[in-house]
Structure 1
Amino acid sequence: MRNIIFFVGTGLLLVAAAFAVDEKPKQPRAAEAKGPNTKSSTTAAPRRKGAANEPAEPDEAAGRQPSIRVDTNLVLINVTVTDPLNRFVTGLEAEHFKLFEEKAEQRIATFASEDAPLSVGLVFDASGSMGAKLQKARLAAAQFFKTANPDDEFFLVQFNDKPELIHPFTTNTEEIQNRLTFTQAKGRTALLDGIYMALHQMKKARNTRKAVLVLSDGGDNSSRYTESEIKNLVREADVQIYAIGIFEPASARSRSAEELAGPGLLNEIAEQTGGRHFPVENLNDLPDVAAKIGIELRNQYVIGYVPNNTTRDGKYRRVQVKINQPRGLPPLRPFWRQGYYAPAQ
C-alpha cells in the first residue's frame, strides 16, 4: 500500500498517477511497519507567473448540463478527504472508498489522485462594505495564485451593484492581480449575479476540472437572480465552488438581514458542489485560508463509476461517498459533489 500522508495547512503537494481498478475490488492490506508519514511543515506549491458582461437571461440557464462530468456512461466525482484536524489525507487507494447512487452501491471503475490542470474563476466582492478589507482580500487572491500550475487558467469577475467580467480566461495570474490593484469598494452586493456570471463564463473553460473561488463579506442585496435559481444552477454545473466569507466577529454583529444570511448561503452553495465554505473573522487569516483552498484543489481523488441505473431520464441522482477506514488512522471525512443530472438523451 502506498504511504498515507497528511497535509497541515498549506502542506506539501503530492501527485499520484492515475490507475484503473481491477474487476474485483482489492482487499485491504495490512498496515506497513513504517506507518503513515505525517507532514507537519507547510510547503507552498511552485509559484508561477501568472469588458463588462451582463448575466445571461434565465432561459439560457434552462439548458440543463450534467452537474458531474459524464463521458458516455462514466460519472467522475472529485473527493477531498480530511482528518479530525482538517488536514488533507492523500495516499488512499480505491479500496478505501465506497460509492452510492440513490443508496445503491456502485462499482468503482476508475480511480486517480493527480494534479490535473484547473480552470478557475475568482468572484471578488467590491461592494462598499469591503473598503477596509480590500487589501487583505487582494493578498488572499495572491496566495491562492501561488498554488497555480503552468496549465491552469483563471478569470476574474468583480461585483458590487452588478457583476462585471474584469478579465477573461488567462494563464497569467499577474494580469488578474494587476486588475485587482485598481479595485475600489463601492455600491451594493450582487453576490448571486456574480456567481451566475462566473458559471456562465466557465462554459468557455478548456480544462475538465473547474472551480470557482468566491471572496465576499456578506449576503446579497442587489441581484437579479434569486437564491433558488442559483442553487438550481449550481446543481446543474460541473464546477466546484469554494467560498471565503469575511465576517465581523460575533461580538460586533451589526449587520443587515442579508449579511446575517450570508454564511448560510455560501455554505449551502459550496457544499452542494463538493467545495467548502471557510468563514473568516480575522482578516490576517485570509491569505492562509486562500492558500489552503489552492492546495486542497491539488489533493483530490477522482472516482469514476458506471451507474447501475442506465436510464437516460434527465433526473437528479444523489451520490454518497463513504470511507473504508484504514487501520491505525483517525476517523476520516470525505467531501464530494452531492449529485448530478442523468443524461436526457
Structure 2
Amino acid sequence: MSRFERRGYGSFRSPERFRFCCVQVLRSMVAALCLFLFVAGAAAQDDDVHIQPRANTDPKKPPDANKVADNTPTPEGGFKVRGKPIRTDVDLVLVNVTVTDDWNRIVTGLEKENFTIMEGSQPQEAKFFASEDAPISLGVIFDMSGSMSDKITRAREAVIEFFKTANPQDEFFMITFADRPELIADFTKSVEDVQGKLVYTIPRGRTALLDAIYMGMNKMKDAHNSKKALLIISDGGDNRSRYTENEIKSMVKEADVQIYAIGIFTPNPSQPEEAAGPALLGDVTEVTGGRLFTINNPNELADVATKIGIELRNQYVLGYRPSNRTRDGRWRKIKVKLLPPKGLPHLNVFAKTGYYAPSQ
C-alpha cells in the first residue's frame, strides 16, 4: 500500500487530485439543491395565482372607459332598466312617477318626451329617465289596535299578498302598533320570516299611528336599496302617539321614502280621531308620491295590497338638475305634468310634491 493510501486518500494518487474531486462533488450538490428549491417555489406559486390587470392603453380614458354598460335583466328579474341609467348626484333631484288611467290601471310604455317637470313656476329639463323594476326596501306598518280585531285575518292576508309581488333583491321589515309601535321583524330578504312573526300578534290597545310612522321612517335609514317605500294598514286615526301630526308631516317631507296606505275606515265614525284618519293618511301619502287607498270591506284588502305592490314596480324615474342652484334649505315645490301620446284617454300622475334644497 502506498503512503497516500495509508493516509486516507484511498485510490487517489495525490492530495491535489483528492481536493479536485471533492470540489466537483460539492458543486454538483449545490446545483442539485438550487434546482430543488426552484421547483418547490414554482409549485407553491401555482396555488396562489395573481393576474395583473391589463394596463390601460389610452391614457385619456379611465380604466373602465372601454366597458359597455349592460342593462340586460338579471336571471332573477331583479333590475330591469329601459333608458339611461340613473347615477347619484348631490345636485340631482330624482322623482318617482306613477301613471294610471281613470280606472286605476297602471300605464306603462311612456317616454321621457311625455313628461314635463315644474319646480315652482320654472320648467326643468329632464336629464335622466328610466322605467325600472329596481330592488326596494319595504317597511310594513301594521295596525294591531283593538279595533282591528274583526279585520285582522283579512289584514294578515293583505300583507302576504303584498309580499308576493316582491323580487329576490328586495328587503323588508315590519312594525306593528297599538299603544306603542314595535319592530317585530328587522330588515330581511325572507318573506317567510316576516309572515311568521305576524301570525303571533294579537289586536289590543289604542292606536299610536304617528309614533309608528316615526319609527318606520327612522328604520329606513338602515335600508340598503336606494328605492324605499312604506305601506301602512290601519282602520283609523291616532289617539295615543307622542309625536304630533305636524312633526310627522315635516319628517316625511324631508325623507326620500314613498308612503302608501290602506285605510279601512268606518263610514260614520263616532270618534274625532277616526273622522280625522282619512285626511291624516291622505296628507302623509300624497306629499311623498304615494297614495291612500280607502276601502269599506276588509275583503278588498288583499287585492289592494297586490295593486300597490305592482304599482311600486311599474314606476317611471325622472331626474333633473334644478335651475335654482341656491342652497338655502327651503322647500321647493315640484309638479310633474303629462304630455300623453295621441289617442290615449285621460291619465293621472302621482309624484312627490317637493323636496328640501341643500343647505350647504
Q: TM-score range by the shorter chain?
A: 0.7 to 0.9
1:180 to 193, 198, 202: 198
Partner of residue 311 from structure 2, selected from 259, 273, 296: 296
Output the amino acid matched with 2:107.
V
* Cα displacement string for residues 278-306 of structure 1 (whole angstroms, at most 9, x for unaligned residues): 01101110000000000000000000001
- Find the counterpart in structure 2 of residue 333 from structure 1: 348
Render the CA deviation track for 1:107-163: whole Å, top value 9, x for unaligned.
010000010000011000000100011000000000000000000000011100011
Residue of structure 2 in register with 1:129 after alignment: 147
In structure 1, distance between residues paired with 2:126 and 2:78: 22
Measured in 2, the distance between the counterparts of 1:148 and 1:97 equals 28
Partner Cα separation in structure 2 for residue 150 and residue 303 of structure 1:
25
1:17 corresponds to: 81
- 2:186 matches 1:168: yes
Other structure's SS at 2:278 match: helix
Determine if contact 1:15/1:113 at 8 Å carries over to the other structure: no
Could you tell me which residue of structure 2 aligns to residue 155 of structure 1?
Answer: 173
Cα displacement (A) at 1:169: 0.3
Asked if the contact 1:316/1:340 (under 8 Å) is kept, the reply is yes
- Which residue matches 1:108? 126
Secondary structure at the counterpart of residue 340 of structure 1: strand
Q: Which of 212, 222, 227 pairs up with 2:245?
A: 227
Q: CA separation in 2, counterparts of 1:120 and 1:107?
A: 30
Structure 1 residues 169, 234: closer, same or farther in 2, change over 3 A?
same
TM norm structure 1: 0.80
Aligned to 2:107, the other structure's residue is in SS state: strand
Report how many residues are paired.
Answer: 283
Separation in 1, partners of 2:82, 2:93: 16
Farther-moved stretch of structure 1 (205-214 vs 255-264): 255-264
Q: 1:312 aligns with which of 321, 324, 327?
A: 327
Letter aligned with residue 332 of structure 2? R
| Aligned partner of residue 270 in structure 1, secondary structure | helix
| Secondary structure at the counterpart of residue 71 of structure 1 | coil
- Kept in 2, the 8 Å contact 1:144–1:291? The answer is yes
Superposition pairs for residues 182-221 of structure 1, below 5 Å?
182-221=200-239
Match of residue 302 from structure 2: 287
2 CA distance for matches of 1:18 and 1:310? Answer: 29
Q: Which of structures 1 and 2 has the bigger CA Rg?
A: 2
User: Is 1:267 matched with 2:285?
Assistant: no
* Structure 2 stretches lacking a partner, 5+ long: 1-76
Show the counterpart of 2:255.
237
Question: Which runs of structure 1 show a deviation greater than 3 angstroms over 4 or more consecutive aligned residues?
Answer: 13-16
2:135 paired residue number? 117
Q: Residue 14 of structure 2 aligns with which residue?
A: none
CA-to-partner distance for each residue in 1:85-127, whole Å, 9 max, x for gaps? 1110000000000001112000010000010000011000000
Contact kept, 8 Å, 2:269 with 2:275, in 1: the verdict is no
Q: Distance in 2 between matches of 1:212 and 1:79?
A: 16
Amino acid across the alignment from 1:119: S
Structure 1 residue runs of 5 or longer lacking an equivalent are 1-12, 22-68
State the alpha-carbon separation in 1 of the partners of residues 269 and 286 from structure 2.
Answer: 27
Show the counterpart of 1:95: 113
Output the TM-score relative to the length of structure 2: 0.77
| % identity of equivalent residues | 57
Task: Give the Cα–Cα distance (whole angstroms) in 1 for the partners of residues 201 and 150 of structure 2.
Answer: 12
* Aligned Cα root-mean-square deviation (Å): 1.6
* Cα offsets for 1:165-186 (capped at 9, x unmatched): 1111000011111111011010
CA distance in 1, matches of 2:348, 2:269: 35
Contact map agreement 2:112 2:126 (CA 8 A) in 1: yes
**Could you say which residue in structure 2 is the equivalent of 1:321?**
336
Q: Does the 8 Å CA contact 1:98/1:324 hold for their aligned counterparts? A: yes
Residues 70 and 76 in structure 1, CA contact (< 8 A), matched pair in contact too: no
The alpha-carbon deviation at position 17 of structure 1 amounts to 2.5
Give the whole-Å Cα distance in 2 for the aligned partners of 1:293 and 1:255: 29
**Is the 2:237–2:278 contact (alpha carbons within 8 Å) kept by the matching residues of 1?**
yes
Offset at 1:15? 8.0
For 1:286, what is the secondary structure of its paired residue?
A: helix
Q: Tell me how far apart the structure 2 counterparts of residues 256 and 340 of structure 1 sit (CA, whole Å).
A: 34
Partner of 1:58: none
Q: Deviations over 1:229-276 (max 9, x none)?
A: 00000100110000000122x3xx243110111011101110110000
What displacement does 1:18 show? 3.4
Question: Are 1:247 and 2:262 an aligned pair?
Answer: no
Summarize the Cα distance change of 1:271–1:207 in structure 2 as closer, same or farther, 3 Å threshold.
same
Q: Distance in 2 between matches of 1:165 and 1:190?
A: 13
